[in-house]
Amino acid sequence: MTKKYFGTDGIRGRVGTAPITPDFMLKLGWAAGKVFEEQGHCQVVIGKDTRRSGYMFEAALEAGLVAAGADVYMLGPMPTPGIAYLTRTLRAQVGIVISASHNPHYDNGIKFFSSEGEKLPDELELAIEKKLGEPLTVVDSEKLGKAMRVQDAASRYIEFCKSSMSPSVSLKGLKLVVDCAQGATYHVAPMVFEGLGAEVIKIGVNPDGLNINDGFGATKPGALQQAVTAHKAGLGVALDGDGDRLIMVNDKGAIIDGDEILYILAKARSQAGALGSVVVGTQMTNLGIELALQDAGIELKRSAVGDRHVIALMQKTGAILGGEGSGHIICGDRTTTGDGIIAALQVLEEMQLRGASLADLIKGVQKYPQCMINVKLLSEQSFSMNEAIESAVKKTEQQLGSRGRVLLRPSGTEPLVRVMIEGEDLPLVESLTKQLSDVVKENLAS
């Protein structure tokens, strides 16, 4: 079976447009409740980011779950990784996140976590979709679920984050800027860093339900760069709307992206003898990072794009560390999913242990220029390689040699093929990307 609603990261779309509507969320809550109730009495935790529409969908999901006989524990605004953590520690069978991550306020979505704090396996998502096709029924009154709020959800997660750092390490004497994207970390992230001794300048911490990710956060780090230099801070930390992405800024205002953070953490764990020999990136991980990791004796394995795929390859290879350039960093020795706060703490711990700046930790890393052109597909058209495209790719790879890379990747969310080339020589990379994208266009039209 193919999925109708679930994508690579749950169900997401524009509020008010199917399936992101109250009636669908009511039915989705009921369907999920019925599927998990078949395995025994079900307890569900629900958390959300700061979008105004989250209140509407929280109420609808709660009603559907209770109608199916499931008990519901509502966390209020909480980062996605915090919901994963509380799903495990509250011994719930499933966790539900109401968020569209880094998207604008007019989008929203639903993600599920298993009792282990991991993404649901495909068979459970398919079972929920199948149940959506059945008529909604209500259990007998005495079997209805209960709904309650977890009053100490934030403090539980804050203490968990703090415990991910070595107790011998303090952040005293460190001034940092924390940008919470007007999102789900606004009330917890500053308290974590302050609780470990840092002087914290807070930005993006005044959500109004409509300003999430608007000019702040990991996808728009300009505000963080300005604040770091204006306050003469040692560094800056930018999270996205639901707190599972991290982008950092050094004391000069330069951006340190997810690829570079992955390198810092991989090298630190390798030197401590706590890594193994493999880390997981994606098809988009910069070739310069791969080569720098090789120089440190670390092999990079590449998954498809998306933290779900990164985690799956980590589990397959036994890697404890994985991530994406966008800032999803999974510290598998600390938690089960991408967590921006915990990843930042691991970097800060390395800085404090070595007495080094953020810039010091990436010395010697030379990221390669990347160029990408999106080629639009026709409606209902799927992308497949043909002889002409394959020949053009081989010719491009020969021109780049061993110090370059070609990637053709259909988008998972839009009717596009992404033509990406990276190499040492930016003018050559730009020229080759244009040539190859033209070949792809010509052969899609034929």
Query: The CATH number of the domain where 295 resides is what?
Result: 3.40.120.10
DSSP H helices, 68-149, are 80-89, 122-132
**Domain endpoint, select from 200, 224, 254:** 254
**Domain assignment present for 25:** yes
* 165 is a domain residue: no
**155 Cβ neighbours under 8 A, 6+ residues apart:** none
Task: Looking at the structure, tell me whether residues 281 and 395 fall in a common domain.
Answer: no
* SS3 assignment, position 205: coil
Are 212 and 182 in contact by the 8 Å Cβ rule? The answer is yes
Distance CA 153, CA 146 (A): 18
Question: How many of the other CB atoms lie within 10 Å of CB of 297?
Answer: 11
Residue 199 sits in the same domain as residue 245: yes
Does residue 156 belong to any structural domain of this protein? no
Residue 440 resides in a domain: yes
Residue numbers of the domain that contains 73: 11-151
CA quadruple 75, 76, 79, 80: dihedral sign? positive
Same domain, 233 and 249: yes
- Nearest-angstrom CA–CA distance, 67 and 143: 9
At CB < 8 A and 24+ separation, what contacts does 264-267 make?
A: 264/347, 264/350, 264/361, 264/362, 265/321, 265/329, 265/331, 265/343, 265/346, 265/347, 265/350, 266/293, 266/296, 266/298, 266/321, 267/293, 267/296, 267/298, 267/361
Peptide bond into 19 cis (omega under 30): yes
Q: What is the pLDDT of residue 157?
A: 98
- 31 and 17 within one domain: yes
| 380 and 347 assigned to the same domain | no
Alpha-carbon separation of residue 98 from 113, 151, 178, 254, 316 (angstroms): 12, 18, 23, 32, 29
Amino acid present at 152: D
418 and 359 together in one domain: no
Q: Are residues 35 and 85 in the same domain?
A: yes
Domain for residue 164, yes or no? no
The answer to whether position 2 is within a domain reads no
**pTM higher than the cut 0.95:** no
358 and 406 belong to one structural domain: no
Residue 11 DSSP class? E
Active site residues: 101
Nearest to 145 by CA among 23, 63, 90: 63
Q: In this structure, is residue 119 part of a structural domain?
A: yes
pLDDT for the residue 380: 63
Contact between 172 and 195 (Cβ < 8 Å): no
**Residue 95 falls within a domain, yes or no?**
yes
Where among 254, 285, 313 does a domain terminate?
254
**How far is 79 from 96, CA to CA, in rounded Å?**
11
- Structurally, how many domains does the chain consist of? 4
Return per-residue pLDDT of the chain as tens, 446 residues: 688 999 878 999 999 999 999 999 999 999 999 999 988 889 999 999 999 999 999 999 999 999 999 999 999 999 999 999 999 999 999 999 999 999 999 999 999 999 999 999 999 999 999 999 999 999 999 999 999 999 999 999 999 999 999 999 999 999 999 999 999 999 999 999 999 999 999 999 999 999 999 999 999 999 999 999 999 999 999 999 999 999 999 999 999 999 999 999 999 999 999 998 899 999 999 999 999 999 999 999 999 988 989 999 999 999 999 999 999 999 999 999 999 999 999 999 999 999 999 999 999 899 999 999 999 887 666 777 889 999 999 999 999 988 899 999 887 667 889 999 999 999 999 999 999 999 999 887 54
What residues pair up with 362 in beta bridges, in sequence order? none
Q: Are residues 33 and 125 in the same domain?
A: yes
Exposure string (b/e) for 139-161, b if CB count within 10 Å is 16 or more?
beeeeebebeebeebbebbbebb
Residue with tokens 């700046």: 357
399 in the same domain as 297: no
